[in-house]
Structure 1
Amino acid sequence: MRVRVEELAAIVGARHVVTEDVPARHTQDLWGSDRVGHASVVVRPGSAAEVAAVLALCDAHRQPVVVQGGMTGLVSGAVPGADEVVLSTERLDAVSPVDVAGRTVTAGAGATLAAVQDSAAQHGFLLPIDLASKGSATIGGCVATNAGGVNVVGFGMTRQHVRSLEVALADGRVLTLSTPLVKDNAGMDLKHLFIGSEGLLGVVTKATLGLQPGALSRTGAFVALEDVDAALGLLNTLQRKLPGAVTAFEVMWDDAYRTLEPTGIRLPLPFGHPLYALVECRGADPEGDAERLAAAVDGFADSLLDAAVASNAGELAAFWAARERIPAEILRMQPLFGFDVSVPARELAKCLAAMRVELELSWPAVKLLVFGHLGDDNVHIAVITGETTRERKPEVEHIVYRLVTESGGSISAEHGVGFEKRSFLGYTRSAGEIALMTQLKELLDPRGILNRDRMIPWGGER
């Protein structure tokens, strides 16, 4: 370690520097990953000024730093190396009063997504970013990875909701980027450099987020379909007949849906259909919205194999309980190889079919469990080869990422690149793009102290 614990303690206070009995949550992604790190020093700043001072100290000593939020990523982007100082944002958890007139809320990087949602809801507003891990995922992490979630089809990614950022740079400067205004075109909007940059360019310490009016009603349907084309047809129909109402459109292939069989959970529809979809709509007419959704679904009945429309909040909750239980059940089937990718909807069925064929050549008993957010091209693929080890992981990754790329997709729909996908970044991004990313990193963090070797390799000491 190139900095002394005493120097860090002088900045944040001795009780906010942890060197012994470091909690395990600082060493591995919350949901598990292949990489398990080692946290020898965890520093917990309580303000942007303290973050800046820690970074300035580390920069002066060329001390690598890894930034941690809720550790809910899946690419080991915040898993520390033994020589890295862990900078935890957990104390930057303040949520300012909601600006009702401006429809914004400002939150520290360490505030959980759930806490900010709750604050907005108290004033009748909605923060549309919604993740299964919202109780642990932090605002800083959402910004750093440009998080998506289940509402992207209706509201867009995190980027669409960030009005302004406070960021600490590697050399200790603190910048406020942009303003909370809806329209602000006074020069370059630099906040977008940091959204999705995975902490490589600076540390997000605070974010101002735009809010949406809260819905007076939530309605939903759970349907069975023959194939992806039918699911896309349903989505297009609902978006046309219920403009602006569709906020989520989740799909589950039969193999993934069948993982619910041993759970005893209440099933919205029976097993045996090729594809299932869960749609949620939000509106302002509690009595009429459910009827309009039912009529729209009924108008597509010729292409449906089965359907259930929620008549109350409890039934809609049961639909979501089934969808949200699937990842946990799949994770029980170890060893598995999980992929969070984007594939253009028009190419998805062909891509998955080719993937199955190619994987079966090496693993005849392979299983592909697929589910995701069809309305935004994002699918989650779990590959279970039938082997008892993970030694051939690179072979599986090469097949999946190559076919995704050949289909015009992306190796990362959510969560970012981190360590796990770094060697595959060139499948999706051109050499010119990666070179420019490297130049930006060298410009803003010339000594390479921030999240070193994540996303792009670090070229060495400077």
Structure 2
Amino acid sequence: MTPNINQPDPFVAALTTVLGDASVVRDASVASAHAGDWSEAARCTPGIVVFPRTPQQVAVTLEICGRFRRRVVVQGGLTGLAGGATPREGEVALSLSKLDTIEEIDTIGGTATVQAGVILEELQRHVEEEGWYFPLDLGARGSCQIGGNAAVNAGGNRVIRFGTMRDMVLGLEVALPDGRLLSMLNRVTKNTTGVDLKHLFIGSEGTLGVITRLVIKLSPQPANACTALCELPSFDAATRLVRDARARLPGLSAFEVMWDDFMVAAREIQTLRPAFDAPAPVYALMETLGTDEAGERQQLEAFLADAFDRGLVADAIVAQSMDDAQRLWAYRETVGELLSHLKPHAAFDVGVPMAAMERFVDSTRKALTQQFPHQRHLFFGHIGDGNLHVLSGPHDSAEDLHRVEDLVYRAVADVGGSISAEHGIGVVKRDFLHHSRSADEIALMQEIKNLLDPAGVLNAGRIL
């Protein structure tokens, strides 16, 4: 039971002793902003929100919460889509927003040491000012935090070239549920000194510990990006095009595929003009990053001309300026508006083997349309890495949403895919985890959770 916040509370007193009065907030008008993330999980205003300002304060906060048996939900930028940062009744919200310092940018070694609450877009801007580049990029770049990106192993638009967040993290510092601060701030790429413990925490969604600082790997800064939007005659053409692009375009950094239903919805939401004279079943948005703008564009145009001759591309637009590129990306980046417009919705972030993707899309669209003929069912994604997004809505009831989830996740299991490619499990997908993980795997994850957090204080009920 949540203590009466109007009465003296030894738990609150212990927190304020360590954090100070200003960092322990019980004002409902402030706490309401921490009632949920971007997911459809039921919002719940926490009774207490704490704002530690140092990694040490995070660790001590966890120790106090463990001592008083108070459960904690960890919050970053609250941009998650799996409900992992949405409080449950009685939980203390631990916000990392004050851990927002970029501590060091190593311009020689190409690394950055940052606190977990640093906003992704701020990090991108700062490292670019130093002549480097951090390639992780998401639609939520202006709000999401780098610690949360690591906690869910975020992928984004450029995984095809740079990998996921797991590939970009060299070292971590983690506050454990018992109050220990575990420093693993490795700064080198090669390090074979036993078990690499950071991988326990990357992708574990804050269930094992709270990431407080990171050492991330930077890349050489590209001088330019070349972008093209292509009309394709079929999904088969898309698979052949991405295979050839990976072989012939060394600068390939993004390959986004959007089915026609998505493009129609995107144009309606953002009042965008049709990019081409006639509709096509599938569209591909390609990007290359390099240092020679004229050479990169010439290479991309030559590649597309050859693809046109072979029937893989029906038409294409190659951006001639940054403004052109932004206009082409605008179709893909309407996702946030679509999510708002189609509420209540079921949004899926699944991993599907490339060889099975067309069959998965066709059969899933058919099944959804048959059962829910009055809703929209949209398909798009980063097919170069097998990450497909499905958006279905608006739906009338929680029962219908559950039916949609069950239908899609069963279809994912049937093709040997993953129910979550980059957004995590949280609470929204927890009951469907068995479609992607065996009973033995889930049991072992539970054993690890019990070892590090025997009292079940930290992000309880997420994933497991």
TM bucket (normalised to shorter chain) is over 0.9
Query: Which residue of 1 is the match for residue 200 of structure 2?
Result: 193
- Alignment check: 8 A CA contact 2:39 2:80 kept: no
State the distance in 2 between where 1:203 and 1:368 align: 36
- Following TM superposition, the consecutive aligned residue runs of length 4 or more in structure 1 with deviations greater than 6 angstroms are none
User: What value does the CA root-mean-square deviation take over the aligned residues?
Assistant: 1.5
Structure 1 residue 436 corresponds to structure 2 residue 444: yes
Structure 1 residue 58 corresponds to structure 2 residue 65: yes
- Alignment check: 8 A CA contact 2:120 2:146 kept: yes
SS of the residue aligned with 2:284?
strand
Structure 1 residue 256 corresponds to structure 2 residue 257: no
The alpha-carbon deviation at position 23 of structure 1 amounts to 4.1
* Structural mapping, 1:415-454, within 5 Å: 415-454=423-462
Structure 1 residue 312 corresponds to structure 2 residue 321: yes
Query: Which residue of 2 is the match for residue 75 of structure 1?
Result: 82
Choose the corresponding residue for 2:389, options 377, 380, 393.
380
- Alignment check: 8 A CA contact 2:31 2:49 kept: no
Structure 1 residue 389 corresponds to structure 2 residue 397: yes
State the distance in 2 between where 1:330 and 1:81 align: 23
Could you say if the C-alpha distance between residues 259 and 361 of structure 1 is closer, same or farther in structure 2, counting changes exceeding 3 Å? Answer: closer
Deviation by residue 1:368-418 (Cα, 9 ceiling, x = unmatched): 21111111111110123x753333221111110000111111110111000
State the distance in 1 between where 2:303 and 2:371 align: 44
- Alignment check: 8 A CA contact 2:119 2:144 kept: yes
Query: Which residue of 2 is the match for residue 459 of structure 1?
Result: none
* Structural mapping, 1:33-182, within 5 Å: 33-177=40-184, 179-182=186-189
* Structural mapping, 1:296-335, within 5 Å: 296-301=303-308, 302-335=311-344
State the distance in 2 between where 1:39 and 1:170 align: 19
Structure 1 residue 13 corresponds to structure 2 residue 40: no
Query: Which residue of 1 is the match for residue 7 of structure 2?
Result: none
Which AA in structure 2 matches 1:253? W
Q: Which runs of 5+ in 2 are unaligned?
A: 4-9
The alpha-carbon deviation at position 25 of structure 1 amounts to 2.7
Deviation by residue 1:287-322 (Cα, 9 ceiling, x = unmatched): 211011100111100221211111222211111122
Which AA in structure 1 matches 2:205? E
State the distance in 2 between where 1:299 and 1:267 align: 24
- Alignment check: 8 A CA contact 1:267 1:322 kept: no
Query: Which residue of 2 is the match for residue 460 of structure 1?
Result: none
SS of the residue aligned with 1:303?
coil
Structure 1 residue 202 corresponds to structure 2 residue 206: no
- Alignment check: 8 A CA contact 1:109 1:138 kept: yes
Structure 1 residue 268 corresponds to structure 2 residue 275: yes
SS of the residue aligned with 1:165?
strand
- Alignment check: 8 A CA contact 1:105 1:209 kept: yes
Deviation by residue 1:203-261 (Cα, 9 ceiling, x = unmatched): 00000100000101210110011222111111122221122x10011111101100133
Structure 1 residue 413 corresponds to structure 2 residue 421: yes
State the distance in 2 between where 1:360 and 1:327 align: 23
Could you say if the C-alpha distance between residues 455 and 32 of structure 1 is closer, same or farther in structure 2, counting changes exceeding 3 Å? Answer: closer
- Alignment check: 8 A CA contact 1:75 1:415 kept: yes
After the TM superposition, which of the residue ranges 356-365 and 59-68 deviates more from structure 2? Answer: 356-365
Could you say if the C-alpha distance between residues 11 and 400 of structure 1 is closer, same or farther in structure 2, counting changes exceeding 3 Å? Answer: same
TM value normalised by structure 1: 0.95
Could you say if the C-alpha distance between residues 269 and 330 of structure 1 is closer, same or farther in structure 2, counting changes exceeding 3 Å? Answer: farther
- Alignment check: 8 A CA contact 1:12 1:45 kept: yes
Could you say if the C-alpha distance between residues 330 and 112 of structure 1 is closer, same or farther in structure 2, counting changes exceeding 3 Å? Answer: closer
State the distance in 1 between where 2:405 and 2:81 align: 15
The alpha-carbon deviation at position 272 of structure 1 amounts to 1.4
State the distance in 2 between where 1:11 and 1:27 align: 24
